Amino acid sequence: MKLKTSLFSRRKFLNGLLAGGLGSLAASVLFPLLRSVIPPYKEPDEVRLPGADYDGMEPGEVRSFAWDIKPAFLKKNGDGSLTAFVGVCTHLDCNVTYLAAEKKFFCACHDGWYDDEGRNVAGPPPAPLRRLTVAVEGTEIVVRKESPA
């Protein structure tokens, strides 16, 4: 069935097309300008966690903490030492979660998997989870960026 009148006039359609094109052009100019004005994200050098919050951890247990605005995980090893990972996938930077039942880290974005040592074991992640150094200083657990090798 043909409508007697069109819902869109040719003029409205062309105006919409022109507005979309101009909007895209403005965005492509403004985005680099804003990026140069707003400083890029700088991750913290260290995060201090209250040791009392992690006292009862069992060997093999993994708990999350905030690495500034990113998720991170603290794992108690069998020898009592602690290991920390940044919870950001090495594929395309999605956040990962720890699945305690599977003892693995999981990235839901593209079905990426890491073992409980942070090693990439399945899916597209090209590298292990980034490690952080952990030190117990007094009553605090101090997590720091691992210095580049």
* Nearest-approach distance from CB 119 to ligand FES, in angstroms: 14
110 near ligand FES (CB under 6 A):
yes
Q: Which is nearer to ligand FES, 97 or 133 (CB)?
A: 97
Among 92, 99, 100, 122, binds ligand FES (CB under 6 A): 92
Neighbours of 119 (CB within 10 A): 14
Among 125, 129, 132, 141, binds ligand FES (CB under 6 A): 125
DSSP string, 56-125: TPPTT-EEEEEETTEEEEEEE-TTS-EEEEE-B-TTT--B-EEETTTTEEEETTTTEEEETTS-EEESS-
* Nearest-approach distance from CB 104 to ligand FES, in angstroms: 13
**CA angle, 65 then 136 then 98, to 5°:** 30
Report whether 63 contacts 57 (CB < 8 A).
yes
Q: Which is nearer to ligand FES, 94 or 121 (CB)?
A: 94
What residues make contact with ligand FES under the rule CB under 6 A? 89, 91-92, 94, 107, 109-110, 112, 123-125
